[in-house]
Each structure stands twice: as C-alpha cells, then as structure tokens.
Amino acid sequence: MKRLFSISIMWLVLAGCSGPKQEDSSEVSLMRVPPPPQDQNKTIGAVDAMPVREDGEMSGAASGIVTEKKFIKTGRIEFETEDAEATRKTIMESVRANKAYVSRDEENRSGQAVSYTIVVHVPAARFDTFLNSATKGITNFREKSISNEDVTATYVDTESRLKTKKDIENRYRALLTKANTVKDILEIERELGEIRTDIEATEAQFRQLKGDIQYSTLHIVFYKPIDTSNPFLTELADAFRQGVGNIRAFTVVLVAVWPFALLAIGVIAGLNWWRRRRKAAEKKEAAELPS
C-alpha cells in the first residue's frame, strides 16, 4: 500500500514538471522573429551610410526631395499725374496686354486732389514687364515698394498635410467596406466627415496660396491736384474761415464774462420789479383819494 502511494506521488511530480516545460517551449516558438531579408539589411545599411547635416536633414541626394522656391510678390506705387484719364487708360492697356485682372478700382475726391486706386493681379513672370509699361513716362514716385516673400516652407507643409489627410481618408474608406456592425459603420462615417472637412479647408488654403504665388499683386495709386487759384473763391473761403474764428472768439469771451452778465441780468430784473411795485402803489393811493 505504501509502495503504491509512493508511486502515485512520483507520477504527479513528474506530470507537474513536464507541463511548464511545454508552455515555455510554446512561448519561445511564438516570440521567435525571422531575420530580415538580405535586401532589407542592405537598405538599412545604405541609409545609415548616407551623410546627415547638423540640422538633422539628409544632404544632397540623400534627402531625395528637391523643392522649387515659391515666392509671393506684392508692390505699391503712388505718383502724381497731370492727366488722370490718360494714365488710367495706359494702366488698363497694360492689364490686357499682360493677361492680368483688376480686383479694385476706386476714385476719391478731396478738396485738393482727385485720387485713383487700382489693384492689379498680374502673372508673376510678367510683373516687371507690367510695372514698366503701366508707369511709362513716370519718373517721380511719391511711393514705390516691392516685396518678395519666400513661402516655400508654407507651401511644402500645406501640400504635405493635404496628402496625409487624403491618405487617412482612403484608409477610412477601406475600413468602411469591411465594417460589419452598425456601430462601426457610424463611427467610421463620423471620422470620414471630420477628415473631409479638414481636407476641404486645407484645399481652400492651398488654392489661395497657389493663386498668390501665380499672380503678383500691385496697388497703384495716382492723383491729380485740383486747381484752387481762383482769387474770388480764395477770398470767400478766407472770409468764411475768419467768420468762424470770430464766432469762436465771441463764445470764448461770453463764457469768460458770464458772472458779470448774470449780475447785470439780476440788477435789471430787480429794477423792473421795483418800478412795477411803485406804479402799483401810486395807482392805489390815487384811488383812495376823495373825489
């Protein structure tokens, strides 16, 4: 009996020892990762061998991306002209000749001059040609400023973000075709709606940026002085200004002497009251006398 009991205990111990060994062997087999292919190792080695600049970007052909510089050119000119109609005609002819377009055309009149403001959008490659032809014959500029803003980083960033968002949208559409439950479908459609809104907003920004790059903007302001050398009108204007000055001076004096004016008004009112009392008393005495 004791021998049978000892054999049973030994069998249980051996069974317990053999179990964990099998589990360990299965875990090891699951954790084994096959070595990378030889081509992949070559690729990794090639990338590691590429030269890297101090700022962290790959230099030369290592970066693999050569981006053309993007600029937004804007300008503003202001000048005086003797013939506003002829100047405006010259500008409009230059607009048509250089395939530009006008987004603003205003005329303002003041007491001394008539000014015109024209905002022209011209293809960037024809900006200098348009500027020279539109201001032909103009030598003295009251203002002339040209700026050329480098927007390459903004362009590349916007283009990259737009591509990334479209890739995400395509992944969501692929997931939508594989969704099996209503909950999953609704969740994916919600995410698709949000990413589509982001894509449309980014596309609008990108279109605006590309439009500003393709078309340079030039603000043109020219003015013609108004002749005010008529002696009669000049004298009339001076007399009017002098009259306004006299009214202002009289008002100032009146405010300065208001205590005396108030005292004079009080004295006059008191005298009138005393006279009325005196006349009333005289009439009363005359009425009391016997006839």
What is the rounded CA–CA span in Å between residue 33 and residue 46? 23
Least confident of 19-23, 136-140, 188-192, 271-275: 19-23
pLDDT at 53: 40
pLDDT tier for residue 56 given thresholds of 50, 70 and 90:
very low
pLDDT tens for each residue of 73-93:
999 999 999 899 999 999 999
* 143-150 and 71-80 beta bridge pairing: antiparallel
pTM: 0.53
List pLDDT tens digits, range 90-109: 999 999 999 999 999 999 98
What's the rounded Cα separation, in Å, for the pair 81 and 105? 17
Give the pLDDT confidence of 150-201 residue by residue, as tens digits: 999 999 999 999 999 999 999 999 999 998 999 999 999 999 999 999 999 9
**pLDDT digit string (tens) for 2-53?**
444 444 445 444 444 444 444 333 333 333 334 444 443 433 333 333 443 4
Identify the band that residue 229 occupies on the pLDDT scale cut at 50, 70 and 90: low
Is residue 64 scored above 50 in pLDDT?
Answer: no
How high is the pLDDT of residue 63? Answer: 41
**Percentage of the chain surpassing pLDDT 90?**
47
Separation of alpha carbons 151 and 129, rounded Å: 23
* DSSP-derived pairing of the beta strands 101-109 and 71-80: unpaired
Question: How far is Cα 197 from Cα 22, in angstroms, rounded to an integer?
Answer: 55
Q: Buried b / exposed e across 244-277, counting CB within 10 Å, b at 16+?
A: eeeeeeeeeeeeeeeeeeeeeeeeeeeeeeeeee
- Cα gap 143→29, rounded to integer Å: 80
Q: Provide φ and ψ at 71, rounded to 5°.
A: -130, 150
Neighbours of 12 (CB within 10 A): 9
The confidence band for 289, taking pLDDT boundaries of 50, 70 and 90, is low
Q: How far is CA 80 from CA 45, 87, 93, 117, 134, in A?
A: 68, 10, 19, 12, 14
Give me the amino acid identity at 25: S
User: What residues are paired with 222 via a beta bridge?
Assistant: 79, 116
Predicted local confidence at residue 58, as pLDDT: 38
pLDDT category of residue 65 using cuts at 50, 70 and 90: low
**Token pair recorded at residue 15:** 């069974």
pLDDT at 266 over 50: yes
